[in-house]
Structure 1
Amino acid sequence: MNLAVQTSAQRLKAYCDSQLVANQIQGVYEARDERMIKYLSKVRRLAGKFKNFAVIRIPRTENAKVDVLYKLTASGYTTLGSTCMEFLKKSSIENEAVEVMQVEHESCWMDEIIEYLRSGKLPEAKKEARKVIQRAARFSLDGESLYKRSYTLLYLKCLRLSNAAYTMQEMR
């Protein structure tokens, strides 16, 4: 992307064989790892310099051209006809500032159960407190994760709505 910006390109199509990276750039997936957040921030900032920018995911099995380029550069070739290449001596996100947005904790049906299992704290209303105690009997807390005991004695991980959507997207 840096090379395309330097050559004053107006449109850029980037091909990527990583479903995770492509979907993070497109905004389908959320970047959670600190390094990925830095890379994503840089990509979005650079993408704003183009009139048209697109990331296209291609299956790894159809990525022969990139594999050949990688093998050639790894073996020491520095010029490949009209192909522009840039060799980085350090990570492109080194010393990169990250914008952090404060996200409010989404309330969820699990919150009262987690609070009760963690600290024994119950709602003020006796009726609500009784419901929490009864429901909590079927759950187990492991660190920050809540699990429900199934009838087959397996533990099922409970997810917040945002995590459930992400998990369902990954399962496709």
Structure 2
Amino acid sequence: MYALRFDFQVSNNEAKYEAILTGLLLEREVGAKDLSASSDSLLITILVNDTYEAKDQRMQRYLDTTRKLTHSFKSFKINHISQGKNKRANAVSKLASTSFDHFTKKVLVEVLMERNIDNRKIDSIAMPHDWTKPYLEYLLHDVLPDDRAISRKIKINAPQFSIREKQLYKRGYLALWLRCIAHAKGQ
């Protein structure tokens, strides 16, 4: 499971857009080509599906950013589902709003320090040369990067990682250990 926690104020619709954008970024990073998403927000699904235009300036920025990201996929479809059929997502959202120290090994919690519409991840095509290095440095030598936000993220996510024979592994959803590699090596 994957949950988001916001280090800034968000409305309900903004939180749902942040979830969609984060999912799109993750899917793009792993190289997905065809993507189907679901949302229990009727407003967001009709906006993303080009049925209506957003009126609020911030919502328009979310919509523009979402559409820009969806164009990086061969195909993209978003469907509306009722809240009753979205029980698992609702449960994860409630978990993310509580203290998450006790379940970091079961639920991946990402803390967003800024809005996805305010950062440069959307336009960036180039991936970091080796994202595993900061985790290895922290787990092996207790050394963190100088950037406070990155250091905090590494500390929060570190319990999900382990080192075996100088290789970084991450606990998978089914308690399997997945070997972590740099993006270039994955390509």
Q: Per residue, is there more strand in 1 or in 2?
A: 2
Greater CA radius of gyration, 1 or 2? 1
TM-score, length of structure 1 as denominator length: 0.50
TM-score, length of structure 2 as denominator length: 0.46
